[in-house]
Chains A and B, each alone.
Chain A
């Protein structure tokens, strides 16, 4: 039996845990056909998987993964006609990646996981912080007839901190770190997961087009800055299917999703013009 590991990267709230929860439900319940099927589970963190999958089935938002509480889960999956493969999937808190960008440091254990040849990079398609400029906002306000404050009257100026950097800059830096010492391991496969794709899909773009329009710096980096021996695919993934309840509010969208008899049908994966419910599709590509 071969052993493969896939590392999931992404800034806080980018959908890593939701993906894992939906994946676990999908492969364990076998409600819809998938490229990889579940053989058995090899993990010390089975409780974590049950917990997040239970939240997912109930259409409730996942709690944040606490830094230091990173969970490593392993499943044995098998492609049709193939050998069983152990897939290890560390559920790393997004703060670990913020720390890599901001403090230029990475926990030793996380650094070990980040040397895997298969990389899932999660980007929440609806929560991309894009750069905006003072002068543009000022001109827009003037056009709308809203008086702008003088500097002295304005709210306190916010000094720079790494967290205010646009999402695409932080992601370019993360990927650059993955191809330089101490994390460089040579050729890799990179599956970019544009999560919450249901919210972005209405604009009529393919995942590639959406990334190029919304994150042009990242798009340029993927085309010109990524090591030529890396392979990349961009998937649009909706692992939830819509808006889930948080602990304070019940949402009609969540009610609609709970009404779907087969929970796996909430999932949608878009790649190369095709749509499926199969979250194992990017995993299968990373593992081959």
Chain B
């Protein structure tokens, strides 16, 4: 006997969205943790109308919207030409927290202004959301995570922000590149010349991985990596005296959880900052240091702790070269004939 036709279980959960598998796995495709709150839940599925015979069901008559990704160097250039901007290079070895810093800052704007800075708009919302996703509860992870940046050309996350005090409204372009590429400049400083974000940066932000600085087995190597990376940038000539340098200790929450409350790590960072300031400070317009927890994994720090200070440093008016008028002096001609000038009009 043939199997009977499967009957729809009237008691099974259903959803108006035919792509939702709530009846199978209990998960709402639109992300509602409580499926009953989803407006589509419990409704009859709306099935797409079958394509007419002879037509291509994939053909669409669509209008393309602007992309919502990170920007290429050329696209970032277009933004810079159009409006005041701040280019921020964020350098550091892999896992130092570059993407976490970017995602953590974006997530702060989800909750309101960051210090005196407000969100205006962004061309990179998809990219920000992807960077922030694995630290969000919607990912169903139990520990926060950030996607690794792949090797390749630098990409810029775009934010248009407002300084609510001054009214300045610059585009902020946050450069994101794989950490390994920055680390390799230690062996080949000239490779830093290929990184346009370094030459163009208003603020060079160098990250110091707090978790590694805490680790007795890694801290000396880490300090050496940071020093040598900065040395390579200076040697390659990609830093400018109008640039500001931000030295940023990351993962503050992990450091504070150490048995000594992170005292030795904070001292180690202090020593590193003093050394770098002494040796390389003259190459920059200013050097500041920060201790941050962009996306903490413990209760050792608040989410985004001290990012407001770092953002204020990034937002400061850039110290760019403003050419003045060139003094012009007419050379004294050797021949008397060449020294003749037109007669003033009133003499004629």
Chain B residues near A168 (CB, 8 Å)?
110
Residues of B within 8 A of A154 (CB): 140-142
Q: Contacts A66-B46, A177-B66: A163 and B136 contacting too (C-beta < 8 A)?
A: no
* CB-CB nearest in chain A for B19: A163
Rounded to whole angstroms, the CA-CA distance of A248 and B86 in the bound complex is 56
Name the B residues within 8 Å of A247 (CB-CB).
Answer: 43-44
Contact of B129 among A136, A169, A182, A221 (CB under 8 A): A169
Interface residues of B in 35-51 (CB under 8 A from A): 37-40, 42-44, 46, 48-49
Q: In whole angstroms, what is the CA distance A217 to B139 when docked?
A: 21
A159-B169 Cα distance, complex, nearest whole Å: 34
A127 interface contact, C-beta 8 A: yes
Give the A-B pair count, Cβ closer than 8 A. Answer: 180
Q: Shortest distance in angstroms between B109's beta carbon and chain A's nearest beta carbon? A: 6
Residue from B65, B144, B169 in contact with A135 in the complex, judged by beta carbons closer than 8 Å: B144
**How many A residues touch B, CB cutoff 8 Å?**
64
> Cβ of B39 and Cβ of A13 under 8 Å apart?
yes
Task: Indicate whether B313 reaches chain A with its CB closer than 8 angstroms.
Answer: no
Choose, from A33-41, A99-107, A260-268, A270-278, the stretch at the interface.
Answer: A99-107
| Interface positions of A (Cβ within 8 A of B) | 12-14, 61, 63-64, 66-68, 100, 104-108, 111, 124, 127, 129, 131-139, 148-151, 154-160, 162-166, 168-169, 172-173, 176-177, 180-183, 216-217, 220-221, 223-225, 246-248
Which of A134, A138, A149, A221 has most B Cβ within 10 Å?
Answer: A134
B180 within 8 A of A: no
Chain B residues in the interface with A (C-beta under 8 A): 16-17, 27, 29-32, 37-40, 42-44, 46, 48-49, 60-68, 107, 109-113, 118-122, 125-126, 129-130, 132-144, 160, 162, 169, 295-299, 303
Q: Is the CB of B142 within 8 A of A150?
A: yes
Q: How far is the CB of A138 from chain B (nearest CB, A)?
A: 6
**Cβ distance B325 to chain A, nearest Cβ, rounded Å:** 35
In the complex, 29 of the A-B residue pairs with CB atoms within 8 angstroms, ordered by the A residue number, are A12-B30, A12-B40, A13-B40, A64-B39, A64-B40, A68-B48, A106-B65, A107-B63, A108-B62, A133-B303, A134-B134, A134-B137, A135-B135, A135-B296, A135-B303, A150-B142, A155-B140, A160-B134, A164-B31, A164-B139, A169-B129, A172-B122, A172-B125, A173-B125, A180-B66, A220-B119, A221-B120, A247-B43, A248-B42
A166 and B65 contact, Cβ closer than 8 Å, known pairs A135-B135, A151-B142, A176-B121: no
